[in-house]
Structure 1
Amino acid sequence: MRTVTGVPSDQALLSRRRMIEISGLVSRGIGLVCTALYAAGVGAMSSGQLESSGMRSASWVAVALMLCCNLVAVHNLRRPLARWYELRSAVQVALDAAVICGFVVIAEGQTRETTWPLMALAVVIAAVRHRLPGAVLVWALTSAVFVAAFPNSPDVPFVLGVNVMIAVITGTQSSSLARHLRTLQETRAALQHQATHDGLTGLPNRAHLAGCADRFTGRPLGVLLLDLNGFKLVNDTHGHAAGDLLLHRIGDRLTTAMRDVTSPDGDAPVVGRVGGDEFLVLLPGAGPGTVAAACERIREAVPVPADLGDGVRVTVGVSIGVALRPAGGEATLAALTAEADAAMYREKHGRRQAA
């Protein structure tokens, strides 16, 4: 799915944009057919009346504009999250307003029919797409067109008054809905982040790491399981608050250390915390050389003394277990993590024996 601001786009926003485009296509299609029949002399007016009133040419121009507008709507419907969606939406509003204003000016001037209420339709379209600012802008433009075309018309006060009320009502409602959708999207993004990230360090958690690993199925994958040496002593000596701060600092160091480690395919590592003082690093597309370089960076970054405030400086070491899946391998993240855990245990046991 495409993303907005780096998170999966809210389904409510997608649905709203798609329904706007569908409703625009359907309503504009109906108007297009009716206008084409009108221009062809089918219906209430005969061909001769159309020619004498000048409506035939204007109607065919309106048909052409509505066709162009529908093409833009189809593009927006296919790509509702595209960068230029709002701009293309504004183009539709402008074309719809131009068609409606042109029809009203010609109809009012040539046939003396009362058609100015149609201008409210342009205002509503703008409100749905661009909320209160769009509704007010289109109201101002359509009102200016009507006043310029018919400065002495007794309908001027009605055009200005009725349409401004419609602009305010529909515009405020659309703006309220947009704010609601934005709040909903932000809330869902926050909940999604909480569900997939560690609350202490902000790093990806097991669920997020599993999702990342699933995307690399069948490709080479290096898995590094890290365990901090001496972390329990920090907790026992300085308290859990100091331990939590140390974990946060270590998470930042690991992220920085892995920043320049990339696979031959250009994939970036993923650093996560899986619980306690254990961290997991995924190296997609990595071979033995990339894994060795990553381990070296980690062994350099972790033992640097950490300042925990109040003059407290602590140093911890790190044990690293490595598991490497070759291209075409079928080992899951769980299997690779278990293999890395066994390797990490062997390293810890060997260090204790050496001590």
Structure 2
Amino acid sequence: MQTVIDDSLMSRRRSIETAGLISRSIGILSTGIYASGLTDYAPHDLSAGMELACWYGIVAMFLSNLVAYFARRRPGSRWYTPFSALQVALDTATIVGFVVISSLEYPQTTWPLLILTIAIAALRHRLVGALAAFTLTSTAFLLMVPDSPDHSFVIGIGFMIAVITGAQSAAYSKQLLTLQEARQALHHQANHDSLTGLPNRAQLAEYAAERTGSTLAVLLLDLNGFKQVNDVHGHAAGDLLLHEMGVRLNGVLNPGDLAGRLGGDEFLVLLPEADAAKAAQIGDRIRDVIRRPVDIGDGRQVTVGVSVGVALRAAGSDATLDALTAEADTAMYQDKRAPKLAA
């Protein structure tokens, strides 16, 4: 399932990276104090292996913080997941190295630190990440500290922590994804017509407002013969017809153009940066596709026409969408009466 990137997910990712930056900064400071031997926090005469582990850990945590910094700045980037995995790898290697060397050379009990790597992996990569971290840390401890009496604790507690934290993280991620999908569905419903799937008035108004002051062509469309389809074949057939009109409108527009439904059998098409020639060209395309027969089921077909009214806004003009729509509405009714006048 594709991950939906919205504000709530990006906020969660930023929180994770912030927590990582803070915790590693504390880790760098604590490790530096430990390696200095200036306090009772650590033995005054560290072995060469422990000194190496400490300085490697400081470097690894610093690199992880650099990655976290860039991941926090761009939580929606396609590189976020690889960056996250890299941080888990560096954190795991740092903690495993410290635990193994301290277990071999000092009487301190440090293996509970391995749980931290499992929790970090669970937070970032859910159950799969937690189990992978548990497998790596447990295997490393068993192989590299073979004489430790704590093997059963490392495996038992590590596995329980992996399952608990991984399952909780997976459940939270699933809940978050469900909420994201619900929010997107509500946003779509609020901005789109349920019958045709086209943008509604609100979305059209927002689209036009974003282009205030720029060149804009507005085409108002009104179907000819739609009422007869409803009267003869029923409203279900009329709904099928409207849906098909929405599909056809989207099919003839250029990238950046927008078609929406105002209601009933009226549609509005917005053409940014379009002049009269382009508006006329799009209008001709629309007339051509609208008049093609529409299959309404049971082998029945209906045909409708369309009247098109055009309004143009020049660059620098402050004409609103409502004003342009009213102008296009006047032109549309002139287009609708034109055949009768000709007759």
Q: TM-score range by the shorter chain?
A: over 0.9
For 1:43 and 1:240, the matched residues in 2 are separated by 84
Q: Secondary structure at the match of 2:147?
A: coil
Deviation at 1:312, TM superposition (A): 2.0
Q: Secondary structure at the match of 1:216?
A: coil
For 1:58 and 1:246, the matched residues in 2 are separated by 72
Choose the corresponding residue for 1:179, options 174, 180, 195: 174
Deviation at 1:184, TM superposition (A): 0.6
For 1:344 and 1:101, the matched residues in 2 are separated by 75
Choose the corresponding residue for 1:104, options 78, 99, 102: 99
The corresponding residue for 2:156 is 161
The corresponding residue for 1:278 is 266
Query: What fraction of aligned residue pairs are identical, expressed as a percent?
Result: 56
TM-score (norm. length: structure 2): 0.96
Query: What RMSD, in angstroms, separates the aligned Cα atoms of the two structures?
Result: 1.6
Q: Secondary structure at the match of 1:22?
A: helix
For 2:88 and 2:97, the matched residues in 1 are separated by 14
Query: How many aligned positions are there?
Result: 342
Counterpart amino acid of residue 251 in structure 2? T
For 1:47 and 1:235, the matched residues in 2 are separated by 89
- Tell me whether 1:17 sits opposite 2:13 in the alignment: yes
Deviation at 1:46, TM superposition (A): 7.0
Counterpart amino acid of residue 351 in structure 1? P
TM-score (norm. length: structure 1): 0.93
The corresponding residue for 1:120 is 115
The corresponding residue for 2:299 is 311
The superposition leaves residues 215-264 of structure 1 with CA deviations (integer Å, 9 ceiling, x where unpaired) of: 21221111100000111111111111111111111111111122xx3xxx
Choose the corresponding residue for 2:143, options 145, 148, 156: 148
Pick which of 53-62 and 226-235 moved more: 53-62
The corresponding residue for 1:67 is 62
Deviation at 1:45, TM superposition (A): 5.7
For 1:232 and 1:323, the matched residues in 2 are separated by 26
Deviation at 1:27, TM superposition (A): 0.8
Choose the corresponding residue for 2:229, options 226, 229, 234: 234
For 1:116 and 1:20, the matched residues in 2 are separated by 24
Q: Answer yes or no: is the 8 Å Cα contact 1:53–1:111 preserved in 2.
A: no
Q: Secondary structure at the match of 1:185?
A: helix
Deviation at 1:326, TM superposition (A): 1.3
Counterpart amino acid of residue 135 in structure 1? A
- Tell me whether 1:288 sits opposite 2:283 in the alignment: no
Counterpart amino acid of residue 83 in structure 2? R
Gaps of 5+ in 1: 262-266
The superposition leaves residues 2-49 of structure 1 with CA deviations (integer Å, 9 ceiling, x where unpaired) of: xx87x7x43321221111111111111101111112222232267850
Q: Answer yes or no: is the 8 Å Cα contact 1:40–1:47 preserved in 2.
A: no
- Tell me whether 1:352 sits opposite 2:325 in the alignment: no
- Tell me whether 1:193 sits opposite 2:188 in the alignment: yes
Deviation at 1:158, TM superposition (A): 0.6
Deviation at 1:306, TM superposition (A): 1.4
